Amino acid sequence: MPDFEPFRGDLLAHCYRMVGSFDEAEDLVQETLLRAWKAADRYDPQRASVRTWLHRIATNTCLTAVEGRARRPLPSGLGPAGDDPHAPLTPSLDIPWLQPFPDARLGGPADAAQQRAGLRLALVAALQLLPARQRAALVLREVLQLPAAEVADVLDTSVASVNSSLQRARAALRAAAPELEDLREPADPDERAVVERYLTAFEAADVPALTRLLADDVVLEMPPVNLWLAGREHYATFMERVFAMRGPGWHLRPVAANGAPALAAYTPDHKPHSLQIFSVYRQRIRRSVTFADPSLFRHFGLH
């Protein structure tokens, strides 16, 4: 019987891209491995590699799971930016929000390096806009870089149908998220250093220092609050509000999420508060997605 365990991180990332939920992705990987174990005697190495075979099972498991379900968005995918940094921060708990992905769960170094670039939040959020089979075709072909013939085998369709789905999926992404010039969104080599300076300024409650690290068109969003803000001035005003409400003395811990630098934030009274994931370009923070849900800390091995 093939050893499936080395593929767990790969499958977890794949299922996460398909469903946008780390919790659900873990369950789907377990279901995938159970199905693979039950069907192991029917696996034919002449037809497909173990990896492709497992991705076929995982993809079909995910397609069943997402059928008829609402997509998982970020606030920026639901409406225009807000114009009031003092607006009420009311959680919208009825929305199935996109969740972050802990990079430590990707597996070994080689697997992690291959997978990390395809986990950027902007990409995963954009993927949720696509019909499920288009989403699957795009992930298998563009992110996992399977040949079109293997994608057709996974989806039990023709190469022509796969290419047609890919064309429609790419057009939909360009229309919905034109900033996604490259689906693999290469990391800024200086991004972690920028986020380390952000950490220092945040812990010092130094809003001017924070503001100097921001791009002019920076975006701040805070699921499960259905509000997002755009622009350096709004971001700065919001941070002044945070420190006025909660005081100084925050503690931030570096983590890695969605192939990007991230910070786990603890309030001045040492309680878990939020996970902040950053997009950095040309040494400026362009986006901060702040998941204000302490229950997500467990995915990162944090308390």
Same domain, 196 and 154: no
Same domain, 159 and 273: no
Last residue of a domain, one of 145, 176, 207: 176
Query: Is 172 a domain residue?
Result: yes
Same domain, 147 and 227: no
In angstroms, the CA 243 to CA 250 distance is 9
Query: Is 47 a domain residue?
Result: yes
CATH for 120: 1.20.140
Same domain, 129 and 223: no
pLDDT of residue 149: 92
Same domain, 120 and 262: no
Same domain, 120 and 23: yes
CATH for 201: 3.10.450.50
pLDDT of residue 68: 82
Query: Is 185 a domain residue?
Result: no
Same domain, 197 and 101: no
pLDDT of residue 216: 96
Same domain, 291 and 224: yes
Q: How many domains does the chain have?
A: 2
Q: pTM of the predicted model, to two decimals?
A: 0.93
Same domain, 295 and 215: yes
Query: Is 183 a domain residue?
Result: no
Same domain, 162 and 201: no
Same domain, 35 and 156: yes
Contact 109, 159 (CB under 8 A): no
272-281 vs 284-291, strand pairing mode: antiparallel
Same domain, 117 and 16: yes
251-257 vs 228-230, strand pairing mode: unpaired
Query: Is 123 a domain residue?
Result: yes
Which residues constitute the domain of residue 132?
5-82+97-176
For the CA atoms of 227, 287, 98, 183, the dihedral, rounded to the nearest 10 degrees, stands at: 140
pLDDT of residue 108: 65
Q: What is the mean pLDDT of each run of 10 residues along the chain (303 residues)?
A: 85 96 97 95 86 93 91 94 96 96 81 72 91 94 89 92 94 75 56 95 98 97 97 98 95 94 96 96 93 96 93
pLDDT of residue 184: 45
pLDDT of residue 91: 96
pLDDT of residue 74: 95
In angstroms, the CA 77 to CA 100 distance is 16
Last residue of a domain, one of 152, 176, 200: 176
- DSSP letter, residue 37: H
